Amino acid sequence: MLHQSIPLPRDLPRPQEQILVNITPQETRVAVLEEGIVQELHVERAASRGIVGNIYLGQVKRVLPGMQSAFIEIGLERAAFLHIADVLEQRQHPTEPQRIEKMLFEGQTVLVQVIKDPIGTKGARLSTQISLAGRFLVHLPQEEHIGVSQKIESDAERHSLKARLEKLLPAGSPKGYIIRTSAETARDDELAADIEYLSKLWSDIQQKSQTLPPQSLLYDDLPLAVRVLRDMVSGYTDKVLVDSNENYGRMVEFAEQYVQIAVDKIERYAGERPLFELHGIETEIDKALARRVNLKFGGYLIVDQTEAMTTIDVNTGGFVGNRNFDETIFKTNLEATQVIARQLRLRNLGGIVIVDFIDMDNDEHQAAVLAELAKAMARDRTRVTLNGFTSLGLVEITRKRTRESLAHILCEPCPTCQGRGEIKTAQTVCYEIQREIVREARQYDAKGYRILAAQSVIDMFLDEESQSLAMLVDFIGKPVSLSVEASYTQEQFDVVLL
């Protein structure tokens, strides 16, 4: 049980889903609802679109043999990062260690694709293995084999799909493809259309790479409104509601050409109330930015996102549903599993996630909680791994991170606390100011000093700390005056020499 990988169940029954698309000139927002409850939120802003999937003609800026990596300029503010593990030759021969300094040199131009957006202070992560996603297929033009999605488990179905695709591929064309799960129900003409679209795309990219200068963008991934049709619409999708006339036409046009299953599902929303307000999405967005998440029966979660990982703490709160304390803990943890999985999707939290469930001594209870969490995580479109309880009673989850989280898109660090979530007390700032005045008095022979600080700090000097201020004046033998600076935060202050 301890710290072992937990397999996620497959082919679980799923309810019908609705996809809501809210579009303005500045941003596109997508919400996925199941039985009226928001399960996923996606936001893309015109001024800062994600670049995962984009292909550039990069230029090698620096090769780092010690790290077996290189920095590549692709025309962004920060140089992007390429590791040896993401170089095509190394991927093709994983058992034969390669040396990056023998493959790349400074100033060299190289075709690269973004596999991770710039996040925080880190630049984008790159790969030299190009992949182009279609509706049913992923084209790997530098490869010569056909793979099948791991979600298609039937050997007979896998062989059948590979055989169908091999027959449809034009003679002499690149044979590198991965068959996506959606291809299970695709007709031959739909697969052929996907092949034609992807082949033309690769041809255009190759042509641009020969004519455009280094650091040029060769391929830009589809905008969010259209990616929804390509990547999210499935047999479980009831309808796709979009509130923009212009984009409704574009989406229908794209669906008619590439995603036939979506054509009859796309609907134009023309109601008077805003689409997201009507379905309560605005409220859900606010909740998804909060640190505390309330559970239905009185318990709650505390979600903390840091640079290194995300931690989720489960608490019973006011839940007293059972006289048996162990049962109360068990039911709170069970309820938390569904909410945790949903919050990871809503907030788009990736990387390492540590969940601190309420301690359970019963092994059967632990197994039941893990099983329920595995079921809830299995619905995630993003790759997830789940590990059992550690010796400290923690559950580890890893969720593939390719784009910024919802909070990083919509929020910024508090200018007062700089993201700490706390500020120094007025009393603490008073003592810092007094130490600063003593330092200044030892270095400079000033006539006196003026303290510029926030109202709360000045009030503290006039009330509780008036005696300590008087002692300071007596100690340095110079007058000290006070002045309120309305624009200062509680932690800001200046000591002016008179």
The CATH number of residue 170's host domain is 2.40.50.140
Whole-angstrom Cα distance, residue 97 to residue 90?
Answer: 7
Among residues 281, 316, 351, the one where a domain terminates is: 281
Whether residue 136 lies inside any domain: the answer is yes
175/198 Cα distance (integer angstroms)? 12
Q: What single letter denotes the amino acid at residue 335? A: E
Q: How confident is the model at residue 1 (pLDDT cuts 50, 70, 90)?
A: very low
**Mean local confidence (pLDDT), 437-453:** 92
* Residue 69 predicted with pLDDT over 70: yes
| Phi, psi (degrees; rounded to nearest 5) at 159 | -65, -40
Q: How do residues 402-421 score in pLDDT, each as one tens digit?
A: 678 888 888 888 888 877 78
324-352 mean pLDDT: 90
Residue where a domain stops, chosen among 346, 372, 403: 403
Question: In this structure, are 76 and 211 located in the same domain?
Answer: yes
Please report whether residue 398 resides in a domain: yes
Q: Are residues 66 and 164 in the same domain?
A: yes
Residue 251 pLDDT exceeds 50: yes
Same domain flag for 63 and 165 = yes
* Calculated CA dihedral for residues 305, 307, 309, 315, nearest 10 degrees: -30
Residue 414 lies in a domain: no
| Torsion of the alpha carbons at 431, 432, 435 and 441, rounded to the nearest 10 | -120
Question: Is pLDDT above 90 for 132?
Answer: yes
Residue 27 lies in a domain: yes
Q: Are residues 392 and 302 in the same domain?
A: yes
Has residue 207 got a pLDDT over 90? yes
> In degrees, to the nearest 5, what angle opens at C-alpha 5 toward C-alphas 3 and 11?
145
Residue 299 has pLDDT above 80, yes or no: yes
Instruction: For residue 319, name the pLDDT band (cuts at 50, 70, 90).
Output: low
State in Å, rounded, how far the first CA of the chain is from the last one: 70
Q: How confident is the model at residue 46 (pLDDT cuts 50, 70, 90)?
A: confident
Is the domain of 306 the same as that of 346?
Answer: yes
The answer to whether 115 touches 71, Cβ cutoff 8 Å, is: no
pTM: 0.75
Q: Which letter, b or e, does each residue of 420-457 get, where b requires 16 or more Cβ atoms within 10 Å of its Cβ? A: eeeebebeebbeebbeebeebbeeeeeeebebbbbebb
Asked whether residue 259 is domain-assigned, the answer is: yes
Are residues 44 and 113 located together in one domain of the fold?
A: no
Please indicate, yes or no, if residue 214 is contained in any of the structural domains.
yes
Q: Would you state the structure tokens that stand for residue 249, as one six-digit string? A: 């036409």
Q: How far apart are CA 10 and CA 13, in angstroms?
A: 9
Residue 309's contacts (CB-CB under 8 Å, 6 or more residues apart) are 351, 352, 353, 354
> Model confidence over 214-228: pLDDT tens digits?
999 999 888 999 989
Q: Are residues 330 and 395 in the same domain?
A: yes
Round to whole Å and give the CA distance between 184 and 168: 15
Angstrom distance (rounded) from CA 141 to CA 195:
11
Token reading at 273: 């109330």
Q: Is residue 186 part of a domain?
A: yes
Give the total number of structural domains in the chain: 4
CATH code for the domain in which residue 304 is found: 3.40.630
Closest residue by Cα to residue 131 from 118, 117, 115, 154 = 115
Does one domain contain both 34 and 104? no
Range of the domain at 361: 290-403
Q: Which of 327, 328, 310 is nearest to 319 (CA)?
A: 328
210 shares a domain with 83: yes
Is 37 in the same domain as 148?
A: no
Please tell me whether residues 212 and 247 are part of one structural domain: no
Residue 482 is assigned to a structural domain of this protein: yes
173 and 310, same domain (yes or no): no
Which residue is it, tokens 């030892």?
A: 442
Task: Give the number of other CB atoms < 10 A from CB of residue 237.
Answer: 18
Mean pLDDT (the chain) is: 89
